[in-house]
Amino acid sequence: MSLRIATFGQAPFGRDVLLKLQEAGHEIVGVYAPPEGARPDPLAEAALERGLPLFRHKAMRRKGVAIPSRVAEHAALGAELNVLAFVTMILPEVIVDAPKHGSLCFHPSLLPKFRGGNALAWQIIEGETEAGVTVFRPDAGVDTGPIVVQKGGVEIEPHHTAASLYFERLYELGVEAMVEAVERVAAGTATYTPQAESQASFQGLVDDEIAAIDWSWPAARLDRLIRGCDPQPGAHTAAAGGRLRLFDCQRLEPVAEAEPGTVVGHQDGAVRVAAHGGSLRIGRVRAEGKGKEPAAEALAVGARLG
């Protein structure tokens, strides 16, 4: 059975979910993508190429209240299901609940753990060892609705950043989970399993306060922070000339007689920085107002960070 679907999303993930749903025979009655920006959005481009109705609103609510014209616009589509594929805007309940089958939403963690908008970063920062994806039916809470499909068993490896964990391991798994959840709804076999609140955790956004490096911390904790904040916002530390953000981190063995935060060597464009209980290889850095550059070009041996 095919469904009339309205998709909400962005980026390659939103595009690939859209294409898979079309391949499965579902009718896409509307596509909601971000407003035009400096770079083309892949989901919006796919909608235009296929002649699908495209809507590019900055928001669907105003002062916490659904915008009437947006509600009417969505209702006119006659969608039987909303598919939320990598959505960052907050949708009003009146739109989320409007279709016959409600909505399905993607989240890059094994809910109920790591609810919130920066789940990928927090899994690395907190030292989680297993990752996965969840498709759930959203309710009034933040990532709290019943689960329809969940796929886990993904190892978080020592080299993973928030970006590489997503693109290397969770991206295709997430597209697969979204399509599977839609097929279950279409077939009438979907089950909606309440989340176990006793296992729930919520983490806020990873901002500059969270991303600040404290060189008194152990090397293992610093390594997780830097990788979790890569690529955004970038874990940062004080350096000569101002704030410096660190990327491409690898934890190494300790170095003798060096204060934490001291650059102790260069290798292949990277630097090695002393830390408690180990050391860190930093491949790239970004100073305020500049682009990323090889760390060895910005930091001399003997330089102190923090």
Tokens standing for residue 88: 């960052």
Closest to 227 measured CA to CA, from 304, 164, 172, 305: 164
- Which residues are within 8 A (CB) of 267 and not within 5 positions of it... i.e. 6 or more apart? 281, 296
Mean pLDDT of the chain: 97
pLDDT interval class at 134 (50, 70, 90): very high
pLDDT at 257: 84
Torsion of CA 200, 136, 164, 17, to 10 degrees: -170
Domains 4-199 and 219-298 share a fold: no
CATH topology classification for 4-199: Rossmann fold (3.40.50)
- Checking if the pLDDT of 241 tops 80, the result is no
**Contact indicator for 99, 6 with CB cutoff of 8 Å:** yes
Q: In which band, very low, low, confident or very high, does the pLDDT at 289 lie, cut at 50, 70 and 90?
A: confident
CATH architecture of 219-298: Roll (3.10)
Cα distance between residue 223 and residue 233, in whole Å: 15
Is residue 268 helix, strand or coil? coil
Q: Give residue 38's pLDDT.
A: 87
pTM (2 d.p.): 0.94
pLDDT in tens, 72-83: 999 999 999 999
Ramachandran quadrant class, 41 (left: phi over 0; alpha: psi -120 to 50; beta: rest):
beta
- Rounded Cα distance between 276 and 135, Å, is 40
Answer whether residue 100 shows pLDDT above 80. yes
Q: In this predicted structure, what is the pLDDT of residue 5?
A: 98
Q: What is the CA radius of gyration of the chain?
A: 22
Report how far apart the first and last C-alpha atoms of the chain are (Å, whole number).
60
CA distance 131 to 126: 12
* % of the chain residues with pLDDT over 70: 100
| Residues 148, 169: Cα–Cα separation, whole Å | 20
- Spans of all domains in the chain: 4-199, 219-298
pLDDT digits (tens, 9 = 90+) for 4-30: 999 999 999 999 999 999 999 999 999
**Over residues 164-188, mean pLDDT:** 98
Put residue 58 in one of left, alpha, beta given phi > 0 → left and psi -120 to 50 → alpha: alpha
